[in-house]
Amino acid sequence: MTAEDLFPVVIAGHVALCVECKTLTRAPIPVRYIQSNSGPGTTLYACPEHAVTLGAGPTPDDVIGTR
């Protein structure tokens, strides 16, 4: 076991993984919401650079239609 395993890097503040470039961003922008049948849903985030191209959600693919 190494020191990195015992003492992992902790990033302070609100950070999230960008769904496009897969990097941590300190300015996450919610772009999608995935509903769950049981439990809370999941919000997907993007960095400011990719949020412009992804647009703010939900998109028609994210919306569940009712009958």
Q: Does residue 12 or residue 62 have the better pLDDT?
A: 12
Over residues 8-21, the mean pLDDT reads 83
Long-range own/partner contacts, residues 30-37 (CB < 8 A, 24 or more apart): 30/56, 30/57, 31/55, 31/56, 31/57, 32/57, 32/58, 32/59, 32/62, 33/57, 33/58, 33/62, 34/62, 35/64
Q: What is the mean pLDDT of residues 11-19?
A: 84
**How high is the pLDDT of residue 46?**
92
Domain ranges of the chain: 11-67
Rounded to an integer, what distance in angstroms lies between the CA atom of residue 40 and that of residue 48? 25
Residue 59 has pLDDT above 80, yes or no: no
In whole numbers, what is the pLDDT of the chain averaged over residues? Answer: 81
49 has a pLDDT exceeding 60: yes
pLDDT of residue 52 exceeding 60, the answer is yes
